Amino acid sequence: MVKNKKMLALAFIGVLAVAGITGGTLAYFTDSKVAENTITMGDVDINLEEPEYDKNHPNKEITDVTPNQVIEKDPTITIKEGSKAAYIRCKINVTSDDETALPAGYAEALIANTNMDMTLWKKGADGYYYYKNKVEPVAPNNTVKFFSEVKIPETWGKEMANRSISMDVTAEAIQADNFTPAMDEDGFITGWFMSDGTTPVTPDNYNN
């Protein structure tokens, strides 16, 4: 829980998958991510980017994507040098950009098809994925990879034709000094709370 008012930093990155399925083939998978610090407070400063995807797909497009195809997507969080040591959490939001709602279970299927290391990440009841360890602002130990790839679910078929699927990742970091996150019996972080132990930490209620 928060013992003193600390610093919270956020960053956002998005990937856009445009699916035009005919006979079980996705037309293309494109990247329209935006990586920027949306909120930076005090001495906690983070960066969120996808270095391998950007390097290998400079045109932001992968053509002729098929179900079961593995797409390189590597959201990577860096605690900038000069910042304070911090805890990290991330959230994934998958939505459809057309007027028809994404079928039930499709977002969960895509998220389940990432190669997230579940020995280091734990999903909390609030929907965030919490990184198990404190991250120091000293290279090379100041960088954390959320996951490095996502596989198109094999169950996606013609019902996904002409859809635009947005898979957005938000990363947040909170100063580790004088802060004790909620943990389970296995040592995984399960939540961030204010000093009352019940009020969740959010970008709106957590200020210097």
pLDDT digits (tens, 9 = 90+) for 56-104: 877 766 666 678 888 888 999 999 888 888 899 998 888 776 666 788 8
CA distance 95 to 102: 7
- Work out the pLDDT band at 35, boundaries 50, 70, 90: very low
146 compared with 18, residue with greater pLDDT: 146
**pTM score over 0.85:** no
Residue 21 has pLDDT above 60, yes or no: no
Range picked from 13-22, 30-39, 78-87 for highest mean pLDDT: 78-87
